[in-house]
Each structure stands twice: as structure tokens, then as C-alpha cells.
Structure 1
Amino acid sequence: MTDVWFAGGVVADGSGADPAASDVCVTDGIITAIGRAPAGATTVDLDGMLLTPGLIDAHVHLGLSSPIRAQFGFQLSAAELAADIFATAGHALDAGFTTVRDTGGIDAGVVDVIANGKVRGPRVLSCGPVQCQTGGHGYYGAAWEPTELWNAHHIPGLCALSLVSGNADELRRNVRESFRRGATFVKLCVTGGVVGGHDRLADTQFSTEEIAVAVEEAAARGTYVTVHAHNNAGIRNAVRAGVRCVEHGTGIDEPTARSMREHDVALVPTFAVIEQLTDTESMDLGPEARDRVAGVRQRMASALGIARAAGLRIGLGSDLIGPHQRRRGEELRLRAELESPMHALVSATSVNAGILGLGETVGTIRVGMRADMVAWHRDPLRDAKVFADPEMAVLVVKDGRVMKGKAR
């Protein structure tokens, strides 16, 4: 075993504590000491840079890395889709993200090739295909195409956007099928969405009883359900059913936030995708997406304030889609504008790790944790725009291995 000290930096450990000058010792991928490097130690010189935990994005779509209209129209080859997916995985790592939670669109093959080092990328947790109701959010088949043909568009081992259920029994079968394919948690769409096919943003989808079936199946495997949800009716249905997390949460009001707090349901807001979708031309989306996104950012910002006041655990997710996913840290910049750079960092590290069930292994810089760390060329806690610039993440360490930058 060889000890390597990351020395001469300032550590923001992900807990929210003030940064402090410290050296960090890594042994076989684990942080084994924090203090001062002994004389003669093998060191990586940080030259005064801020060292943070590796960032975590709790809401990604690696499987939606191609031009959206072409992808939803099934106009792209498997080779092109794969190339785009793997490029996006590398971009995430280069932006300082060492862990991501994929909330719909990839099959386990993508997770596996990244985990075994054949493709550069962060640690990936995946729900596999999203669970959606017949005609609900997540279903993008043509109106004339029979619903049962939708699964034929999946590319096994690479991408599978959603599984469609018409009732509780079908949902149970589809959740089990997702676990068979390697999912480690479940995601349901319980309201309409901004990039919709046959749904409206105000729709509620799946009944409380149906959602509870997914919760039961997840609990049987020691894991949880998160839900795509914009409106309060859908969120309340999901909370009553026993889900553990809400994605987006655009319309959260005070009673809904109190209910989430009482049931320890976390929230993952997603501001970067809203900014992204305002430019529908570059995103190759129709005008209906522009109409749907109107006012969403303001409502989501209001919901964030309500959630913070209610004491919810608030994670961080970018939800970026399409080929423009290089600036994943934009989500931290946007959150910093609404709260503070430190709030954004804590949400993207220790809080997200807890939401993902990884709080004992990643998300903070402390002894016993996996050595996922990022050294920043400039201090993002002083200027949050640094988080949004991948060039500022000059040293990215995952499991103790330098994945970007040079060890000096």
C-alpha cells in the first residue's frame, strides 16, 4: 500500500464547515488521514487550491445525449447514440462530477462499461428506464403507433427511455423488469413534464395505490422510489405512497413541504435544464416546449425557498438533456445565485450522497471515505461561476485515481 498526500491545499470538506488548510492522505482509494503530510511523503502539490469532495449530480440523463428531436424520432444509429452517451460521461467527470444518478434512459451496460474502466466517466447509479403510465410523461411514441411497440425502440445494454404501465399489475411487472436489468432504484413520472409527448404539465399520473406498488417492490430490494413531479397534487400522492425523493418539485407550497418534511422526503430541484430549454432552437425542440417552460424557473425558485424554510433535505440535479452537457456545474452556479456557493456545494456533495444512499462512502472529505476529490484553479466559494467552467476543475480524483489533470 502506498500513501499519497494531496498537500498544500485548502479543504472544503462538504459538510458546510469553513474551509481550512489541510493535507489529505489517500491509501488504496480511501482517505486515511487529514492533517499535515510527514517529511518525505509522496505528495501531490495543490499549490493553495481549494479541494472539495467530488461533485454529485443527482439528476442526469446520460441516455439523452443526442439531438432530442432526432433521438425521439428514432433517426439515429446505435453507434451514434453510444458515442454521445460515452462522451457525456467523460464530460461529467471533467467538470468535477465523480458520481451521478441517472434518472432514466440508460441500460445497465452503460453503467458496467464505465465501472470497469472501459469508458471514462463518473460512478453511475441508474434506475434504468423510467416508469410511466400509458400516454404519460416519458412516453414519446407517435400517436398512431400502438403503445405495445414502444419497447421495440429500446437498445438492450445501451438505452431504454421508459416502460409503460396501464395499471398496478403492469407497473409491478415493469418495476421488477427494471431491477432485472440492473436498476438500483426506481423512478416514476407522477405528473406531466416540460418536454412532453402526450401529457400536460398540470397532469397527475399514477394513483397513490399504483405508486405504492412501486414503493413496495423497491423496499423489497432495500432501495427507494423517486418521482418526477411538478405539481402539488402529484407530489402529495407520491408522499402518501411512501416515496423517498421528489425531482423538480416546481409547484411545492407550504403544506406540501410540511408533508414532505414529516415523511422525510428529499427534494432535488433542477434549474440548469430550465435555462437550457429556454433556447428551444439550439435544443431542436418545438415551440410547445418554450410555452411549457414559461414561468417554471420562478416557481421552482419559490419552491426552493419554501422547501428550505420547511427543513427539507435539498439535493442538486442538472437534468441536462441533448448534446450540450459539458457545463454540468452550471447547476451549482444557478443555485448559488439563489442561496450561496456553500449551500450549492453542500447540496452537491454530502446532501446528495445521503439522498443516493452513499453517505457513508462519498460526499465528504473525511477519514474512511472514498477519495473522490476535485481541486479548483480558482475558488468557487468566492465566485460560483467557477463551478460552471470545466476548465477550472484542474484535478479530478475518483477512488483515489487521478482522472483529470497531472499529479505534480
Structure 2
Amino acid sequence: MGRLQVVGAAVADGTGRDPMDVDVTVEDGWITQLGASGADPGERLDAGGLTMTPGLIDAHVHLGLSSPIQPQFSFQISAAEIAADIFATAGAALDAGFTTVRDTGGIDGGVVTTIAKGKVRGPRVLSCGPVQCQIGGHGYYGADWEPTELWSGHHLPGLCALSMMSGNADELRGNVREAFRRGASFLKLCVTGGVVSAHDRLTDTQFTVEEIAVAVQEAAARGTYVTVHAHNNEGIRNAVEAGARCVEHGTDLDEPTATLMATRGVALVPTFAVVERLLHDPAEAGLGESVRDRVLGVRERMTEALAAAKEAGVRIGLGSDLIGPAQDRRGEELTLRAELETPMEALVAATKTNADILGLSDQVGVIAPGMQADLVLWNGNPLEDPKLFADPANAVLVVQAGRVVKDLR
């Protein structure tokens, strides 16, 4: 792989410090030095006028939901087309500047290994495999008439695994063990109803504290953690009491619950981009107009939840939750967050904080010696104009583990 020296860029290192004019030296995939190097620079890359950030991290993706949703769930799309859509979305993530993603449900282990082997373009992927849901809860998308036991027929081993349903704690224990057997690196449980649901409401709670605790126990036995899909406070508090380490969405999070999360060290990953997309055009994701009614008011409440979490001192990551075919503008999540915080806070959430939440803080998330060389060079300064994050064309060069994976210079 050799040595690469990137010179002339304004470097926003992911820690929150102001950008610095500093050269970055990369050797065999790792950052070895910041500042001018007296040694042989090897390949020299002139990045004058560009802004460098760490490779972005999306902590809430659904690569396995890259086809139109309703047709996919009703067996109208072939395995070949589903695979093509998944791999196209993986490549689009790189092109948008995302070098690491956490898949929070929908892919099976074969997708992770295929990308890791370099057979298709894509980011580094951490995956929960199939989502864990209670019978008929969020994560179950079968028809009303369809017997529960037929749902697993929607899985395509090695490619697509939507969710596993449990009726009690023993069934959940068996299902999470199966998820780990199939390559999951963490677990995700649905503990409230959801927006894209047919059988519940956002105010519903799902799984008991005792049931969630079983998944936490199984995750701890493997040195990993549980995150939960949760919109309402009762569901969040159940999960925190059971030992979950992260909450996805958190739409109706209030101040007391946020304080509890902060006290217990539980992180929050808000998801604004999917809300904007579903409000704008549900059909774009392959969903019906009824979804628009379910998402009304979510953006405003999630904004209030973000403020409550910040006030309480919760670690707040960043996730897009995009679903369906239109997942090319993943950086829109940073643009939306920059409207609610500062652009620098959005960048830190998408780099340093997300790396911490994913358990990768010793490898990625900041530009520093000893870290993997995941780098993005932006046309212009997205910290001054955060709309630049939303357009993949502005990520003119993307480096993943020292390899140039996109170059529009």
C-alpha cells in the first residue's frame, strides 16, 4: 500500500477543534504523522483548497432495505435484484463520504463478508443481522392474514434477514444466539411501535424488562451490546433498566428519561433524514401514503428530544435510517443536524462520537497518528456551508483504510 502524503488541505480532525492547515501522512493504511514529514513522502496528493474530515460514520443504516419496501416484503422482487440494490447502496455510501456504517437490521452475514473481501464497493459494516421483535411488533411486515411462522420465509440466507420474532424470553434467547451464529456483532431489539409499522402505534411498548435483559445478558457474554428501536419514554426506560447501551430514534424522549440515560451511560442516535424523506414522498421508498400520517409531528418531537438529550449530557450519535432505493444522499443527516446544532457538532457526532458508540474509537473517527486512514476531502468547507455534506459530488476524494476508493479531482 505504501506511503501517501496529503498536503494543503484544511483538516477538521473530528475532535471539534477548528480546522488546521497540516499535512497528513499515511502508511500501510494508518495515519503515521500530522505535519510536514522529512522522510520520503511517497505518493504526494495535493489537496489545496479542500477540507479534510475523517471518514463519516452512519450509525443507523438499512442496506438490506434498498429495494422498494412493499414490493420487497411481498415477494415481488427477485433475490438477484435485491442483491443488486444492496450493493448499489453500499457503493453509494462510500461515494457520500461514509467509510463505516452500522446496519441496524435487514442484511445477513454474507453481505458483510462480501463487502469486507472487496468483491463489491462499500463501507466497513457492523451489523445486527435480523432485528429482534416480539410477535406482531415493529419489525414484522407480513400481511395480516399471514401466519407468523411463514415470516422467516422472507429471509434470504446470506443476503437478507429482516427480523426474528419471539413470543417469550426463551424464544428471544434462542433467536439472539442464532443472530450471533449468523455473524451479528451487536443486537437490536424493537421495544416500542414504529413509524413504518402496520400492527402497532408509536405509544406501544414491546418486550418486557425481563425479556430485554435476556438479550443484554447474551450480548454481554460475547463482549458486545444491545441497542433498541424506541420512540416513547416507557419503552426507553424499560430498555435502560434492562441494560441496553444505546437508543435509536428517541422521538418523545423527555428530560427525566434523558437524565436517566446520561446517568447510565446510554447513547442516543436520532434519525432525521428518514423523517424528511417520508414526509416528502413515501412512494420514493416504496411505501403507501398512510406512512405520512404516522410520521406527522415526529420531526418536531425528535428535535425537542435532541435538545433534552444535549441538556442532560447524553452521548448523541448520528444516523440516517434511510430506507428504499433513494439512499444516495446519506450526508443529508449532517445537514439537518447542522440546522439544529452547529455544523462542527454534527461532524463530531458523525465521526468521533459514532466511533465511540460503535466500539471503534481506537480505530476510526478522528484524524490522528495511530488511527486508520479513513479520510474525506470536500470541495469547499462543509463547516461553513453544511449543505455540502448532502451532495455526494462534494466528496471529491474518499480514502478508506489508506486506499483511495473515490477520486473526482
How far apart are the structure 2 equivalents of 1:378 and 1:180? 45
What amino acid sits opposite 2:342 in the alignment?
Answer: S
Could you tell me the TM-score, scaled by structure 2's length? 0.98
What amino acid sits opposite 2:100 in the alignment?
Answer: T
Name the counterpart of 1:200: 201
The Cα of 1:145 is off from its aligned counterpart by 1.3
How far apart are the structure 2 equivalents of 1:81 and 1:15? 38
Q: Map Cα deviations across residues 192-237 of structure 1 (whole Å, 9 max, x no partner).
A: 0000021111110000000000000000000000000000000000
1:2 counterpart = 2:31: no
How far apart are the structure 2 equivalents of 1:27 and 1:86? 29
Alignment RMSD: 1.0
Q: For structure 2, which runs of at least 5 residues remain unmatched after alignment?
A: none
Name the counterpart of 2:233: 232
SS of equivalent to 1:275: helix
1:404 counterpart = 2:388: no
How far apart are the structure 2 equivalents of 1:228 and 1:219? 19
1:255-404 matched pairs, under 5 angstroms: 255-278=256-279, 279-404=281-406
How far apart are the structure 1 equivalents of 2:196 and 2:182? 26
How far apart are the structure 1 equivalents of 2:191 and 2:56? 28
How far apart are the structure 2 equivalents of 1:232 and 1:322? 28
How far apart are the structure 2 equivalents of 1:135 and 1:41? 59
1:150-165 matched pairs, under 5 angstroms: 150-165=151-166
How far apart are the structure 1 equivalents of 2:350 and 2:115? 21
Name the counterpart of 1:252: 253
SS of equivalent to 1:142: coil
1:88-237 matched pairs, under 5 angstroms: 88-237=89-238
Q: Map Cα deviations across residues 355-387 of structure 1 (whole Å, 9 max, x no partner).
A: 000000000000000000000011100000000
What amino acid sits opposite 1:304 in the alignment?
Answer: L
Q: Map Cα deviations across residues 29-84 of structure 1 (whole Å, 9 max, x no partner).
A: 00001001437623111113111000000000000000111112121000000000
- The 8 Å contact of residues 65 and 88 in structure 1, kept in 2 or not, is answered as yes
- The 8 Å contact of residues 49 and 379 in structure 2, kept in 1 or not, is answered as no
What amino acid sits opposite 1:2 in the alignment?
Answer: G
Name the counterpart of 1:22: 22
What amino acid sits opposite 1:305 in the alignment?
Answer: A
How far apart are the structure 2 equivalents of 1:243 and 1:37? 45
Q: Map Cα deviations across residues 116-149 of structure 1 (whole Å, 9 max, x no partner).
A: 0000000000000000000000001111111011
What amino acid sits opposite 1:34 in the alignment?
Answer: L
1:80 counterpart = 2:81: yes
Count residues with an aligned counterpart: 407
Identical counterparts, % of pairs: 70
Q: For structure 1, which runs of at least 5 residues remain unmatched after alignment?
A: none
How far apart are the structure 2 equivalents of 1:300 and 1:111? 31
- The 8 Å contact of residues 49 and 380 in structure 2, kept in 1 or not, is answered as no
Q: Map Cα deviations across residues 302-353 of structure 1 (whole Å, 9 max, x no partner).
A: 0000000100100000000000000000000000000011000000000000
Could you tell me the TM-score, scaled by structure 1's length? 0.98
- The 8 Å contact of residues 14 and 363 in structure 1, kept in 2 or not, is answered as yes
The Cα of 1:164 is off from its aligned counterpart by 0.3
How far apart are the structure 2 equivalents of 1:380 and 1:342? 9
What amino acid sits opposite 1:38 in the alignment?
Answer: G
What amino acid sits opposite 2:299 in the alignment?
Answer: R
How far apart are the structure 2 equivalents of 1:314 and 1:73? 36
SS of equivalent to 1:394: strand
The Cα of 1:281 is off from its aligned counterpart by 3.2
Name the counterpart of 1:54: 55
- The 8 Å contact of residues 138 and 197 in structure 1, kept in 2 or not, is answered as no
How far apart are the structure 1 equivalents of 2:80 and 2:48? 42
How far apart are the structure 1 equivalents of 2:30 and 2:212? 38
How far apart are the structure 2 equivalents of 1:111 and 1:330? 24
- The 8 Å contact of residues 250 and 300 in structure 1, kept in 2 or not, is answered as yes
How far apart are the structure 1 equivalents of 2:112 and 2:40? 39
- The 8 Å contact of residues 11 and 53 in structure 2, kept in 1 or not, is answered as yes
How far apart are the structure 1 equivalents of 2:75 and 2:205? 27
Q: Map Cα deviations across residues 291-312 of structure 1 (whole Å, 9 max, x no partner).
A: 1100000000000000001001
Q: Map Cα deviations across residues 7-50 of structure 1 (whole Å, 9 max, x no partner).
A: 11111000001110000110100000100143762311111311
Are the structure 2 counterparts of residues 68 and 33 from structure 1 closer, same or farther at C-alpha, using a change threshold of 3 Å?
A: same
How far apart are the structure 2 equivalents of 1:271 and 1:67? 20
The Cα of 1:282 is off from its aligned counterpart by 2.8
The Cα of 1:91 is off from its aligned counterpart by 0.2
How far apart are the structure 2 equivalents of 1:396 and 1:199? 41
Moved more, 279-288 or 19-28: 279-288
Q: Map Cα deviations across residues 223-274 of structure 1 (whole Å, 9 max, x no partner).
A: 0000000000000000000000000000000000010011000000000000
Name the counterpart of 1:12: 12
